[in-house]
Amino acid sequence: MSNSSADPSKPNDAESGRKTLRDRNVSLRPLRTIFLVGIAASPLIALLLTYVFLQRPTPPSDAESTAQAKPSESQSPEARPAGRAAPVVSPAPRSSTVALPSIAAPASAEQLQRESEAAARDLQSRYPNVAEGLHVVALLHAQLRQTTEAEKIWRKCLELSPRRPEYYVNLATTQIERGESAAAVATLRQSLAAGCKSEAIDYHLALALMKVGDCAEAEKILKPAVGQYPDSADCWLALGESQLKLGNAADAEASLRKAIALDASSATAYFALGNACARQGKTQEATQFREAFAKLKDKQPIAAPERFQVLSADEWRRTAVAVLSEAAMVHASQGDVLESERLLLRSLALNPMNAAACNALAGLYKRVGMLPEERVARRRLLDLEPGNVARYIELADVSSRQGEAELAEATMKLAIANHPDTAVLYAALAQWFVQWGKADKARWYAQEAVRRQPTADGFRLLAATCRLTGDQAGADAATAESEKLNREPEEPGRQPPASPQTPAAPPEAR
Amino acid sequence: MALNMKTRCTVLLLACSLMFANRACRSGEAALCPIRLEDATASSRITFRHHAGENGQGYIVAGVAAGLALFDFDGDGRIDIFFLNGAPLKGTPGGPWPDALYRNNGDFTFTDVTEAAGVGDLGYGLGVTVGDYDQDGLPDLYLNNFGPNVLYHNNGDGTFSDATSTAAVANGSKVGAGTCFLDADGDGDLDLYAANYVNFTYENHVSIKVGSHFLHAGPRYYKPVEDTLFRNNGDGTFTDVSRESGIASVAGPGMGMVCGDFDDDGDTDAFVCNDEAANFLFQNDGKGHFKESALLAGVAYDFYGKENSSMGADCGDYDNDGKLDLFMTDYQSEMPVLYHNLGGGLFEDATSTAGITNDLYPHVTWGTGFADFDNDGDRDLYVACGHFDRVESFDDRTSLQVPNFLLMNTGDGRFTDVSKLCGSGLAVAESSRGAGFDDLDNDGDIDAVILNWNSKPTILRNESPAGSHWIEIELHGRVTNRDGVGARVRVISGDAVQVDEVHSGRSYQSHSGSRLHFGLAQKVRADRIEVRWPGGKTEIFPGAASGQLVRLFEGAGSPEN
Mutate to test the interface with A, among B352, B400, B405, B417 (most CBs of A within 10 A): B352
Across B346-438, the runs of DSSP E, i.e. the strands, are: 346-349, 365-371, 380-385, 402-403, 405-409, 415-417, 429-430, 432-438
Interchain pair B352, A212: CB under 8 A: yes
User: Selecting from 1.25.40.10, 1.20.1440.230, 3.30.1300.10, 3.40.50.300, what CATH number does the domain A403-510 have?
Assistant: 1.25.40.10
Confidence tier at A59 by pLDDT (50, 70, 90): very low
- Write out pLDDT tens, residues B448-487: 999 999 999 999 999 999 889 999 999 999 999 999 999 9
Which pLDDT score is estimated for B420? 95
Interatomic CA distance for residues B458 and B46, integer angstroms: 9
Q: Does B21 touch chain A (CB under 8 A)?
A: no
Q: Which of B303, B328, B400, B414 to mutate to test the interface with A (most CBs of A within 10 A)?
A: B303
Q: What is the 3-state secondary structure (H, E, C) of B264-303?
A: CCCCCEEEEEECCCCCEEEEECCCCCEEECHHHHCCCCCC
DSSP structure class, residue A497: P
Residue contact B218–A307, C-beta within 8 A: yes
Single-letter code of the amino acid located at A436: W
Q: What is the pLDDT of residue A425?
A: 97
For residues A81-97, average pLDDT: 51
| pTM given for the model | 0.83
| Rounded Cα gap, residues B518 and B66, in angstroms | 28
Weakest mean pLDDT among A485-494, B153-162, B285-294: A485-494
- Taking residues B225-241, report their average pLDDT: 98
Q: Choose among A211, A212, A268: nearest Cβ to B305.
A: A268
Inform me whether the pLDDT recorded for B13 exceeds 70: no
The yes-or-no verdict on residue A9 having pLDDT over 70 is no
Least CA distance to A143: which residue of chain B? B395
pLDDT (0 to 100) of residue A308: 64
Q: Is A192 in the B-facing interface, judged by CB distances under 8 Å?
A: no
Decide if B353 and A245 are in contact by the 8 Å CB cutoff.
yes
**% of chain B exceeding 70 in pLDDT:** 94
Residue A200 belongs to what H/E stretch?
helix A199-211
Task: Please tell me which residue, B393 or A141, carries the higher pLDDT value.
Answer: A141
ipTM of the complex model: 0.89
Q: What is the pLDDT of residue A28?
A: 28
Q: Is there a contact between B352 and A245 if contact means CB atoms under 8 Å apart? A: yes
Give the whole-angstrom CA distance, residue B209 versus residue B215: 6
pLDDT one-digit tens code per residue, A243-289? 999 999 999 999 999 999 999 999 999 999 999 999 999 999 999 99
Q: Is the pLDDT of residue B512 over 50?
A: yes
Partner residue opposite B358 with nearest CB, options A181, A270, A308: A181
Kindly report, residue by residue over A463-493, the tens digit of the pLDDT. Answer: 999 999 999 999 999 999 999 998 875 554 4
Contacts of B354 in chain A (CB under 8 A): 213
B146 residue type, one letter: F
Q: pLDDT (tens digit, 9 = 90+) per residue, B73-114?
A: 999 999 999 999 999 999 999 999 999 999 999 999 999 999
> pLDDT-derived band of residue A32, with 50, 70 and 90 as boundaries?
very low
**Hey, what's the torsion of the CAs at A203, A204, A210, A215, to 10 degrees?**
-30
Q: What is the mean pLDDT of residues B9-14?
A: 26
Res B164 pLDDT > 70: yes
Q: Which residue of B has its CA nearest to A215?
A: B353
**pLDDT the model gives residue A307:** 63
* Inter-chain touch A308–B301, beta carbons under 8 Å: no
β-pair partners for A352: none
pLDDT of residue A312: 75
Dihedral over Cα of B537, B538, B544, B547: its sign: positive
pLDDT of amino acid B459: 98
Q: Span B523-541, mean pLDDT?
A: 95
Cβ contacts (< 8 Å) between B348 and chain A: which residues?
Answer: 275, 279
- Model confidence at B18, pLDDT cuts 50, 70, 90, reads very low
Cβ-Cβ contacts under 8 Å, A177 against chain B: 333, 361-362, 397
CA closest to B357 among chain A residues: A212
pLDDT at B311 over 60: yes
- pLDDT at position A22 is 33
Kindly state whether B39 is in contact with chain A, defined as any CB-CB distance less than 8 angstroms: no
CB contact under 8 A, B395 and A179: no
pLDDT 10s digits, A310-362: 677 888 899 999 999 999 999 999 999 999 999 999 999 999 999 999 999 99
B208, B334, B362 ranked by CB distance to A308: nearest: B208
Residue of A nearest to B342 (CA): A279
